Structure 1
Amino acid sequence: MASINLLARLGNLWRGFVSLWIADVEKNHPEIAYENAIRGMIERYTRLKSATAAIIRRRDEIDGRVKTARNTLERTNLDLETALSTNQDDLAMVLLQKKSALEQELADLAAEAEQSNADAEDAKSSLLAVQGEIGKLKAERDRMLAQMKSAQARLQIQAQLDGLSVEADVQALDRVREHIKTTVAEANLGKELRDTDLDVRLTKLRQDTGQVTARAQLEQLKRQRAAAQAEGGSGRQM
């Protein structure tokens, strides 16, 4: 029992995989799905057409039987009139029985004919409906496949336009910008390294020392000049 259940589950799993695979194929190739649907409807139309033909044949057979029964009834009525006119009562009795049977047969055939006519009309309506559905499905197939081809063409054009974008130029410009920034950073780094170098610092210190010495000498000269001017002013006053 367990093995049977396992086989059944495996069978269901396999059918599921096949169904998914078929669904993917039909999604990628919708014309296959449409052709399968149209083929199925055509097969249904063919079977319905055969059934409709059988119904119509039965209707025609019943109509033929009705016509034959009516003709027979007319002849029987004529024969009955003749038998009554010639006083052939025994023959008239037989003809009366035959007339009654024919009238009953005609009544039954009329009911069958009415039903067969209704069945034939229903079958023809169904046949025309299926035929119309096939036409609609074919028109839908042509319309939808045309829309899909148009969409695919648009996607291809969009892909080509995307390929012609300036993304490569922008990336090249970004690389140039990065190179410039790197060069500037290297230059700044060289300056910073020079500022921290001992020889550079010593040279700068000497420059600062020279400036301090020169300023001290300048201050001394100013004081000497001021003193000389002060002495000169005192001599003139005396």
Structure 2
Amino acid sequence: MVDISLVGRLSNLWSGFVALWITDVEKRHPEIAYQNAIDSMIEKYGKLKTATAAIMRRREDVSARLESERSELAAVTADLNTALATAQDDLGIVLIQKKNSLDASIKALEQEMEQARTDTQEAKDSLLQVKSEIQKLKDEKDRMLAQMLSAQARLKIQNQLDGLSVDAEVRALDNVREHIKTTVAEAKMGSEMRDSDLDVKLAKLRQSSGAVTARQQLEEMKRARAGQADAVAGKSM
């Protein structure tokens, strides 16, 4: 025999799975969720409209009965006055009893009429409220779906931008940078090699020797001029 509690648990589990599935579908398709809510509100509006119509018909029925009994009361009152004026006491008694019955009935109908008016107004207010809620829900649906479409478009663009790879361009620039650095290093190396070459060293030595010789010649010329100046000074004394 199957355990009843186990069946209940399985039923609850299945209901939970279905609810989760519906929730997931509604998240992925919000227009369905909104439309279901709108359809539910429209169905509620239709039922409330039918109920409101029934309440209004009841109010009209009570009003018609009240009007009819008021008319009858007026006729009975007139007949009673005639019976009193003509001393028809037996008829007067009957008319008084009928008048009293009509007075009580009219009083009850007036109370019923007041309640019918209240019920009708409340039903109409509820009907207008539900109608307003339906319109609000429709406006919200349009607004929210527009926002969702805009967000989806932005996400699509972002995903496309994220998917654009710049690895190839970066690698190409890296290759260019390495080539430039290598070229600069080779040029520097050539310069350093020339500086260390024997011929280059010899040329530098010759340049240095020439400078030393020129310096010596300059000193000799300065001494010769100084000697000449001293000789001229000695003759003038």
Q: State the TM-score, normalized to the length of structure 1.
A: 0.70
Structure 1 residue 117: deviation in Å?
0.7
4+ residue runs over 6 A deviation: 177-180
Does residue 138 (structure 1) correspond to residue 138 (structure 2)? The answer is yes
Structure 1 residue 72: deviation in Å?
0.3
Q: What is the match of residue 8 of structure 1?
A: 8
1:105 maps to a residue whose letter is S
Deviation by residue 1:136-193 (Cα, 9 ceiling, x = unmatched)? 000000000011111111122223333446344124445x37987xx9xxxxxxxxxx
2:69 maps to a residue whose letter is A
User: What SS does structure 2 have at the residue aligned with 1:140?
Assistant: helix
Q: What is the match of residue 196 of structure 2?
A: none
Q: What is the match of residue 48 of structure 2?
A: 48
Structure 1 residue 77: deviation in Å?
0.9
Describe the shift of the 1:177–1:11 C-alpha distance in structure 2 as closer, same or farther (beyond 3 A): farther
Unaligned runs of 5+ residues in structure 1 are 184-238
1:89 maps to a residue whose letter is D
Does residue 24 (structure 1) correspond to residue 34 (structure 2)? The answer is no
1:159 maps to a residue whose letter is N
Structure 1 residue 127: deviation in Å?
0.9
Distance 1:156 1:130 in 2: 38
Describe the shift of the 1:77–1:164 C-alpha distance in structure 2 as closer, same or farther (beyond 3 A): same
1:16-95 correspondence runs (5 A): 16-95=16-95
Structure 1 residue 3: deviation in Å?
2.0
Distance 1:119 1:103 in 2: 24
Unaligned runs of 5+ residues in structure 2 are 183-237
Distance 1:167 1:18 in 2: 46
Describe the shift of the 1:88–1:154 C-alpha distance in structure 2 as closer, same or farther (beyond 3 A): same
Describe the shift of the 1:26–1:63 C-alpha distance in structure 2 as closer, same or farther (beyond 3 A): same
1:85 maps to a residue whose letter is A
Distance 1:29 1:48 in 2: 29
Structure 1 residue 17: deviation in Å?
1.1
1:171-210 correspondence runs (5 A): 171-174=171-174, 176=175
Distance 1:107 1:16 in 2: 57
Distance 1:155 1:72 in 2: 78
1:20 maps to a residue whose letter is L
Structure 1 residue 87: deviation in Å?
1.8
Identity of aligned residues (%): 58
RMSD in angstroms over aligned alpha carbons? Answer: 2.5
Distance 2:33 2:168 in 1: 42
Distance 1:171 1:4 in 2: 69
Q: What is the match of residue 129 of structure 2?
A: 129
Deviation by residue 1:90-110 (Cα, 9 ceiling, x = unmatched)? 111111111111011110111
Distance 1:99 1:168 in 2: 107
Describe the shift of the 1:113–1:172 C-alpha distance in structure 2 as closer, same or farther (beyond 3 A): same
Distance 2:66 2:111 in 1: 10
Q: State the TM-score, normalized to the length of structure 2.
A: 0.71
Distance 2:133 2:84 in 1: 63
**Number of equivalent positions:** 183
Distance 1:54 1:19 in 2: 37
User: What SS does structure 1 have at the residue aligned with 2:87?
Assistant: coil
User: What SS does structure 2 have at the residue aligned with 1:92?
Assistant: helix
